[in-house]
Structure 1
């Protein structure tokens, strides 16, 4: 009797009560520790509904929310040499690249696209921090140049979302050479009289901060974003002093004149539309939902 009650019956119950539970239904906020349901988090653009902490967001998710109707066209980026230095640390560089590509589903750390926001045509580029820390290598340099060239050719402003841990060490000096290359790309936009707007997200550090991320006409940051060249721990260890509270965070930099605005992610699209139209000397945007581009084209034809 004990064998039936202690083994057979629980075994039968477990077979009938077993349910397939999908993984990753919940995400823990790294700031306040709240467990967030994945659908609600996605609808809130990866912003914690409890403490407003801005988590990482992929370029495609950002572009879906940014462009009218989530419609955009990717801009082709020239592919650089895959492993120029034959670099190896704990893994070979090509193996690290394959792992990052498998994890993110992206070819590299930056996505370039063109489309309309508020019926205003733009070119946009966004870094993916989940791809090797959004590190700046030759591909990222090529992507920014491709974005600038497309913006100049189409006479459109360029909006860039930065998120990087700095230059990619696996490409050595070649990654550092992207700093002057991207600076030249920004100068192309300025020579053409086109706006260049940078949205600094968490984190933007190292050679990215020292080049294209701080060369915009307008600098906007997401709340709480870490923006710096060397991180606060490195500075504290160097000067052996305690840094002020919130040092190198977006709000601190805004108070000290390094940024123009700190804007919530949910309000970023409307903010960009207003700024871009003002810089292009266009009428203010119309409040409310705008029709999708194809619907407007049909109406004009009729």
Structure 2
């Protein structure tokens, strides 16, 4: 199915491919990560470090992009599954999974990067509650209840609105303030990989039931734009989405390339990764993309025109 989708995109969608709007300035492998099995990079909001995790999202490691210093933050299970970072980058919030009587429980914890202190934010639960930082305040969505806890004072910009986007029972859900809204812009089905643009104006997501395509819509779920297949989509600024186009043989991934697309669907562009044929799970800042390739992390510097 995935191969068919990609072929149809190339033949039918009519994207403008000729005029590149993003220049790849350099690609740097992070040598300290070679052979260490690191995956799913995430940029800090300040862009000075990456969070890395291991296989199956085990543990979290901080990688300082200027010095190359690596600091192990935690070894707990599932810590690398969508961790969140405070606005100034000084506090990281993560999940910890534990099993009791063969039942899975998830708790939410924080770590202060300045003193290494780990604190429990929410007790262990059978539910996987979505959470995000709003400035220095952590917001946890629990159905109709929003739990807030101030964790950091390192805010860089004023916060105008509290927004959390999540997948619940395969639906696309937005928490706006204390209001829970089921969006499902492509109708009932199965949604994955949602995130909100840095300017809080748009949502990107993938609709598995709608051609396995990636879409961008407004916060109310309207004006959706089809960007084609872009796995694990992330925001590069407010106007671009970066994702992977991965192909498998039914058992394992045989190739994966990175592509960028404008959110209005007017342009789709390759981001070449000549050192590897399998580049996966990108992260983006305003002028860089980090990605994994066979357990090693690479950083691609960009100029967006």
Same fold (TM over 0.5): no
Larger Rg: 1
Query: Which structure is higher in strand share?
Result: 2
RCO comparison, higher one (Cα < 8 Å, 6+):
2
